Copies of this chain bind each other. A is one copy, B any other.
């Protein structure tokens, strides 16, 4: 019986080294060590670990001092077993852009730093039929404390429903609010695209084209809507031929740009739904000898590293992905009742570089 042993040890200690607090146990301290050495019960130590208010202030301070002294940290495995919930936050994503994924991870880790939580990653393929089962196994088996859903996985209602059903809390990251019940971080892609439109308008462009991502994606839909709306607000209506839906990939950007640039009447500016597709526009323009920015202005979305690597460097909408990840993780590890804000916002903004100029005529 652990507890009894604890008390026997305490008795021994009292005789020998109660005045010499060199608590050196040659192994990681446990809650029993802390209880024994500070003369309180395990349960009181547990209350202190879990920030219960039901502990006298001086008791708390005494015990916390001892914890620091011996370098005590509670075992997440043992806590997890007792809580029936681990100290692991899962990140579920289906996104091909490495920088976006890494930024999101780093943001989440920012929020987890100093807490007892760690981040476990789960890329998946939302087009494969079994992927929801895969996430379910991941969540249930590891008894995850919570999950961060990254676009486009965050947009799959079936995934969210499954998580609700098994009682797993989660935070969704999305371009706009998807429902009223789940926690969300909203990235306001509509505003970012509008800023891009306003910028091109302010330079004097009027014949503008748009290469969108797959509009089944919320992000693509919002960026498209935001861009078109902003133009309309200034009295400019985009003709259908100036809007091309592509696939968020470099290759699809190349194909879209060929339609736009190799015809007789080309636009003076192009806004693309992400930087990958903007790189496709660059390739076509380069090959065709169209000078960016003199003959063609280009604005991307993401502000990925690619934006500054391209030449001329690409003006692009920055998404503040790291902040998004940090916010999402922070919502998840917040103590239960405590101001559980269901919604948070991260706002994009335009980063101006060298890829735009007033149109020549």
Docked pose: A78 CA to B141 CA in angstroms: 11
CB distance from A70 to the nearest CB of B (A): 14
| A1 within 8 Å of B (CB atoms) | no
Docked pose: A102 CA to B96 CA in angstroms: 10
Let me know if A141 and B73 touch, CB within 8 A. yes
- Which of A42-50, A200-208, A221-229, A279-287 faces chain B? A279-287
Q: How large is the interface on A (under 10, 10 to 19, 20 to 34, 35 or more residues)?
A: 35 or more
Let me know if B81 and A86 touch, CB within 8 A. no
| A28 within 8 Å of B (CB atoms) | yes
Q: Which residue of B lies closest to A89 (CB)?
A: B120
Let me know if B123 and A121 touch, CB within 8 A. no
Let me know if B306 and A306 touch, CB within 8 A. yes
| A311 within 8 Å of B (CB atoms) | yes
Question: With contacts A141-B73, A286-B311 known, is A88 near B305, CB below 8 A?
Answer: no
Docked pose: A6 CA to B305 CA in angstroms: 59
Question: With contacts A77-B143, A80-B77 known, is A120 near B88, CB below 8 A?
Answer: yes
CB distance from A21 to the nearest CB of B (A): 23
Q: Which of B77, B81, B305 contacts A98 (CB 8 A)?
A: B305
Docked pose: A159 CA to B103 CA in angstroms: 25
**A window 63-83: CB within 8 A of B:** 73, 75-78, 80-81
Docked pose: A141 CA to B114 CA in angstroms: 12
Let me know if A142 and B118 touch, CB within 8 A. yes
Residues of B within 8 A of A121 (CB): 105, 109, 119-121
Residues of B within 8 A of A33 (CB): none
Residues of B within 8 A of A32 (CB): none
| A56 within 8 Å of B (CB atoms) | no
CB distance from A301 to the nearest CB of B (A): 15
Q: Which residue of B lies closest to A91 (CB)?
A: B121
Q: Which of B120, B143, B286 contacts A119 (CB 8 A)?
A: B120
| A199 within 8 Å of B (CB atoms) | no
| A92 within 8 Å of B (CB atoms) | no
**A window 115-143: CB within 8 A of B:** 116, 118-121, 123, 137-138, 140-143
Most buried by B among A118, A276, A286, A287: A118
| A62 within 8 Å of B (CB atoms) | no
- A and B contact pairs by CB, cutoff 8 A, 15 listed: A73-B137, A73-B141, A76-B142, A77-B86, A88-B118, A98-B99, A98-B102, A101-B102, A109-B123, A116-B141, A118-B120, A118-B138, A121-B121, A305-B306, A309-B310
What residues of chain A have their CB less than 8 Å away from a CB belonging to chain B? 28, 73, 75-78, 80-81, 86, 88, 98-99, 101-103, 105-106, 109, 116, 118-121, 123, 137-138, 140-143, 250, 276, 279, 282-283, 286-287, 305-306, 308-311
Closest 3 CB pairs of A and B: A98-B98, A98-B99, A98-B102
